[in-house]
Amino acid sequence: MTEQEPSAEASAAPATAEQAVPERRRGRRAAAAPRPPARITVTGVLGELLITAGVVVMLFLGWYLWLNDVVVGSNQQVAAEEVQEELQTRWERGEGTAERPADPGEPVVTPEPTREGEVFGALIVPRFGAEWKRSIAQGVDVETVLNSWTVGVGHYIGTQMPGEVGNFALAGHRWTYGSAFGDIDTFRLGDKIYVETVDGWYQYGFRGLEYVWPSGVDVLEPVPAAPGVAPTDRVLTLTSCNPPWSTAERIIAYAAFETWYPRAVGPPPEISSLVEAGR
C-alpha cells in the first residue's frame, strides 16, 4: 500500500498559520509607530501671538481705565485730607495771609505760589461725592499735577487766586488718573463748591456749563469769554475734556463767589464733617 502524498490544500494550511504570527507582529509595529508631528505654520504662530497680545492689551486697559483710576483717586483723596490737616497746622502757627481786607466781610486774597507744582489748597465738591476732595496745586502740568497720585487739580497760572476779583480757573482730568472732574457734567444750579486755603473757605455757587473747542482759551479771561473786560465779580471756572474718553472739546463749569468763612470762625456747615476728617 503506497503512502499518499499530501494534497495541495493540506500542505497550504500550515503555511498560512505560520504566516499569521509575523503578520500580527507587523500590524502591532505599525500601530505602535509614532505619528509624525503636526506642522507648525507661520499663520498658526502669528495667530497665537495675536491672541496673547490681545489678552495683554485688554488686561492693561482694564488696569489703566478702571483699577488705576480707582487707586489713584483714592490716593488723591487721602492726600487732600493731609493737605487740610497741614493748612490747619499752618494757621495755628500764624502762617496765614498777613494782608487783611479793610472790610471784614471781604475775603482774604490767597497769595499766588512762587513755585509750579506747589500745593496751596483743597477743593471740596459735595456734588462729586459725600467725601470728595482734592488738593490744588499751582500750574496744570500733566505729569506733575494732573497725573499726580497726590494732586489731580491744577490752577491755571495767570488766572486769579481765591478771594481775588476775577477768574480763579482750575483744570482736572475727566477720566484716568483719579478722574478729578469725572462728574463735572452732573452739576445742578446752586450746587456749592468750596476752596479751602490756610486762611479759610471760599464758597461758590454753580451757575452753568459751557462746551468749547480746545482753542477756546478765552474762558480763562478775568471775565470768561470776554477778553479785555475789567472784572467786577469773583468767578470759579472748572475745565475738563469732553466727551468722556475724548479730547475733542472742553467742558467748562462756572460758579460765582457767594461767601467767605475765615478759619477762626470755622468751616461752612455743609462740609464741617469733611473738614474734621482732614484733621
C-alpha dihedral sign at 102, 106, 107, 113: negative
Q: Which of 134, 155, 173, 174 is catalytic?
A: 173
Q: Which of 87, 153, 236, 241 is catalytic?
A: 241
Residue 126 CA neighbour count, 13 Å, CB half? 18
CB-based contact 205:190 (threshold 8 Å) = yes
Any catalytic annotation for residue 173? yes
Widest CA span in the chain: 157
3-state secondary structure the chain: CCCCCCCHHHHHHHHHHHHHHHHHHHHHHHHHCCCCCCCCCHHHHHHHHHHHHHHHHHHHHHHHHHHHHHHHHHHHHHHHHHHHHHHHHHHHCCCCCCCCCCCCCCCCCCCCCCCCCCEEEEEECHHHCCCCEEEEEECCCHHHHHCCCCCEEEECECECCCCCCEEEEEEECCCCCCCCCCCHHHCCCCCEEEEECCCEEEEEEEEEEEEECCCCHHHHCCCCCCCCCCCCCEEEEEEEEECCCCCCEEEEEEEEEEEEEECCCCCCHHHHHHHHHCC
- Written as nine digits, the cell of 196 is 479751602
Active site residues: 173, 241
